[in-house]
Amino acid sequence: MSVSFALMVSNLHALAQSIGDAGSKIDSNAKEIDSENKILTEIVSQISIATDELAKGNQVVSGDLLNVVALMEDVQIGFTTNVEASLLSSRYSEEAAHAVLEGQQAMEQVKRDAASRLLPTRSKNWQTSPPTRHHIF
């Protein structure tokens, strides 16, 4: 019986040692998991910060894009206005050129009419009296 008791004590001792080793492994694994969880928490925190910065950057870029679109619309409106003003100016220039041409033609006609009226008068005056010379000394 004493051999059985000694064997039992030896088996219990081995079992306790085995349980102690398993507890140590569990404790070691728990510490490793805790350390890895802290690292993962830090990584998640850094990702969160980076995501917030990206979101802020996206908001700035979106605002800038809206400003660019508004400026482009203003430029388009200005361009359209300039085209319309150029077309109107071109039409006015054509009308002015046409009016100048008509004025020139009217002046030529006035000159012709005046010349045709003066020629018969000069011819009559020339034939009736010779030109007089005036000497101024």
Answering whether pTM is above 0.85, one says no
**Number of residues written out for the chain:** 137
In this prediction, residue 84 carries a pLDDT of 95
In the predicted model, is pLDDT for residue 28 greater than 70?
A: yes
Mean pLDDT confidence for 7-21: 89
Question: To the nearest whole number, what is the mean pLDDT of the chain?
Answer: 88
Q: How far is CA 40 from CA 8, 34, 46, 83, 123, in A?
A: 46, 10, 10, 62, 121
In the predicted model, is pLDDT for residue 3 greater than 70?
A: yes
| Domain coordinates in residue numbering, the chain | 10-90
Lowest mean pLDDT among 29-33, 100-104, 105-109, 124-128: 124-128
- Sign of the CA dihedral running 121, 122, 123, 125: positive
Banded model confidence at residue 62, pLDDT cuts 50, 70, 90 = very high
Nearest to 44 by CA among 56, 36, 57, 28: 36
In the predicted model, is pLDDT for residue 128 greater than 90?
A: no
Q: How far is CA 66 from the centre of its chain?
A: 8
Mean pLDDT confidence for 42-60: 95
In this prediction, residue 115 carries a pLDDT of 85
In this prediction, residue 134 carries a pLDDT of 54
Angle formed at CA 16 by CA 14 and CA 19, multiple of 5 degrees: 110
Mean pLDDT confidence for 57-70: 94
